[in-house]
Structure formats: structure tokens, C-alpha cells
Amino acid sequence: MLADARLGPALATLGRARVKEVVVATQERARAGEIAPEAVADEVVAAMPPTAASLRPVVNATGVLLHTNLGRAPLSPAARDALDLAAGTTDVELDLATGGRGRRGAGTMAALAAAVPDAGGVHVTNNGAAALILAATALAGGDSQGSTPIGERSSTVRGGREIVIARGEMVEIGDGFRLPDLLESTGARLREVGTTNRVHRSDYEDAVGPETGMILKVHPSNFVVTGFTSSVPVSALSDLGVPVVSDIGSGLLAPHPLLPDEPDAATELRAGASLVTASGDKLLGGPQAGLLLGDADLVHRLRRHPLARALRVDKLTLAALEATLRGPTPPVRALLEASVESLHTRATELAEQIGTPATVVECVAQVGGGGAPGVELASAGVALPVDLAVRLRDGADPVVAHVEQGRCVLDLRSVPPSEDARLAAAARAALG
């Protein structure tokens, strides 16, 4: 079988061991009577994976723009090109002019600084939780510096300082990871203030003292509390004498008219936040990364902290993030801002391409990925029989749809227009 000429390309791209696995598995199917012995060769060719990686491309027709299980933000063509470039040998830490060592990711940091001019300093870690844990470790962890004014030298305090945080902001961030556990792993001590639904400035004032390392504001990005509630903005906390860290989560760098209640980095910094932490693979539309934006001296201190080395990003992330910041509108932003009329037009054309029993329907999409909780985005899509949801996922070109009211819905708010033909072909195959 390995000598079959048709397996030549697969041997070149997948390697002999991976190809042999497919051959042996197919032969076992023949021995078990699942396929005829004479069909083994054709089945092997058909079963050969396209790449050496196990990941499969998926069409996201769920109506959730930032679907965590599907990798959150899809990268822009510019970011994908940057990944291809960075995959080879690059000048990631080399100054070509002098031949000496250069600052790692200098171009990316410059692009991030330009995107958030209110930040005196910027840094990038490997995800949003890493950005927060680096800040907590440096400001309040077991070997943290005392809460002296930013930029002034202070003695090291062992045993951890206090992080003052509202009780209603002690969130679980997904997959069972809880913010209190994350913060306490740094050696810091948590000082909860207020109640589940209400907190006041006086609560923070009473809690801040010599042992306070930082005040942490966390945006409850995956739930909404309504009714008899109150919270304290950064602007009312910035004069309490300790650094205020605002974890905005979703990575919105500036206000967006469609998401008026979603916190953004520029607004939080102008309100007096010493540091803002966010994710790069959500509303920013880039690769997984943690963004640290804020006071120049504080960011420099975080960048030089020993833990920063363990949390640093690779050249692929640096390249994709810079291309996202400097390049054209990323897919997530384009999907968010698409007009309902354009979605209806696409849904009508898609239903015609699929044929009976496809029908055009109105949908309600959402941002997802821990961003803009409770915000409903008007959308349009195509409804199919509910049993097609499984067939679409199991197809040669997988499609993940949204199941509601006993029907399978292909919500186009989360599908780039360039994937419409692919979506139609997958639907026809599932019906076929």
C-alpha cells in the first residue's frame, strides 16, 4: 500500500508514520468485514487527512461571533499571511542594521501603542488570564513590591499583599476556572468588599490600607446582574493611593457604537486606571494573547518581572497581532457591523442554492467569548430540519449550526460572506 503512487503526496506532507496509521486502520476495517478487500486502496486514499495536524476547519453558523469552542476570533487574511511569514526564520529579536540583539516584538508593541495612545506603556502575554496573573503577582503576590507610588522604589513584601475586589466581581471565567483561585495562586490575599449586587466607594475606602497591593475592577463579561445593583467606576477609585487594575476582558480598545455598555481600554485609562488587561482573540479580532496597557513605569516593571518570561508570546502571535492592529478590518468587526439587510440578502441566496426544505428566518445572534453579555444582534439565516445538525457536524466539511425551536438554523451573522458557497455545498451534502 505504501508503494501506491497515489500516496506519494501524502507521504511528503504527512510523513510515513502517519500514512501508515491510516493504511493499517483501513486494512483492519477490511479484516472486520466492514469494507471489501479490493476497496482498501481507494478507502486509504479517501481517508488520508489533508494536513499533519488533527485540527479541522469548521464553518461557524451558530450566530455566536466569538465561539470559544471554535477558537474565538477568526484571523484576517493579513494576519494569516503574517503567520506564514513568521513560520520561517525572522528578525524577531535581531536588529538587522547593527547585527546585535533587538527588542523582541518591537513592531508589534509599536502597533499596539499606536492603537491605544492613552497607554504610556504596552506589553503582551500569552492570554488574558496570564496578563492578569502577571499584574497580580507583581503588585500583590508573594514577592510583590509595596504599594508605594508608581515609579518609586519600595521594599519587597513576602507573604502577599491584598487585592481589593468587589464581591460581585469574583467571577468564574470558563471551564471551571475561578478568578479568586487564579489570584490566590500568586500568593496575594483577596479583600472582598460590598455585597453580591451592590458596592460603594466607601467600601473601597475602608478596605484600602498599608497592605493593599492593588484595587482590581473586573468586568462581569459572561453574565448580567439586573435590578437593585450598584458598582463603582474606575474614575471614583483612582485617587485612593494604590494602583487600579481594570480587567475589561473582551479586548475592545476604543468605544463601539453597537456595544455602548462594553468597557474599552481607552475609556478606562482616561478614567484613571493604572493598568488595563484584556484579551487579543475577542473583539480585537486577533490571535490569543493578553494585553497589558497603562502607566509606563508599571508596564516596564511587569515586563521585567521574572514571571514575564514564562508568559511571553512566540513570533507567530507577535506577527498575527501586529497584522491585526495595522491591517484591514478583522472578520469579527466586519461580522459585528454587517447590516441586517445584507444578511437577509445572503440568506435568500443561500436558501435558493440549498433548495427544499431550506427557508429564510430571522435570528438573534450574540458576541460570545465573554464579551457584551446580554446584547442581542439582529440577524438572518436559513432553517433546515433539526436532524441535519448532526449530519452537518459529521460532514466532510463540518458546519456547526444553532438548534432552536425544533429546527437547525444556519445563522449568517457568524459566517463570513466568503464561506457562503462552502456552507451551501455542505448543506446540500447533508440533505443528499
pLDDT at 167 exceeding the cut of 50:
yes
pLDDT band at 153 (very low <50, low <70, confident <90, very high): very low
Element (H, E) at 392: helix 388-393
pLDDT at 152: 45
Does residue 149 lie in a domain region?
yes
245 φ, ψ (degrees, to nearest 5)? -105, 125
**42 and 161 co-located in one domain:** no
Return the pLDDT at 150. 44
* Position 306 pLDDT exceeds 60: yes
Report how far residue 389's alpha carbon sits from residue 147's, in angstroms, rounded to the nearest whole number.
55
Within-domain flag for 388 = yes
Confidence class of residue 305 from pLDDT cuts 50, 70 and 90? very high
Answer yes or no: is pLDDT of 221 > 90. no
Confidence of residue 250 (pLDDT cuts 50, 70, 90): confident
pLDDT at 13 > cutoff 60: yes
Domain co-membership, 203 together with 311:
yes
Q: Is 271 inside a domain boundary?
A: yes
Work out whether strand 290-294 and strand 156-158 pair parallel, antiparallel, or are unpaired: unpaired
Question: Does the N-terminal peptide bond of residue 357 adopt cis geometry, omega within 30 degrees of 0?
Answer: yes
Are 63 and 106 part of one and the same domain? no
What is the structure's pLDDT at 145? Answer: 54
Kindly state the average pLDDT of the residues 218-228: 82
Q: What is the 3-state secondary structure (H, E, C) of 285-309?
A: CCCCCEEEEECHHHHHHHHCCHHHH
State the pLDDT confidence band at 226, using cuts at 50, 70 and 90: confident
pLDDT confidence of residue 79: 98
Same domain, 340 and 405: yes
For residue 157, the model assigns a pLDDT of 43
- Domain span at residue 28 reads 5-47
CATH number for the domain spanning 179: value is: 3.40.640.10
Task: List Cα–Cα distances, 378 to 218, 223, 332, 335, 406, in angstroms.
Answer: 28, 20, 15, 12, 20
What pLDDT score was predicted for residue 11?
A: 94
Average pLDDT, the chain: 93
Q: Is residue 343 part of a domain?
A: yes
The mean per-residue pLDDT over the stretch 393-411 comes to: 95
Percent with pLDDT over 90 in the chain:
87
- Residue 53 belongs to some domain of the structure: no
Residue 226: inside a domain: yes
Number of folded domains in the chain? 3
Instruction: Tell me what the mean pLDDT of segment 182-208 comes to.
Output: 95
Other CB atoms within a 10 A radius of the CB of residue 47 amount to 12
At residue 373, the pLDDT reads: 85
* Domain shared by 98 and 21, yes or no: no
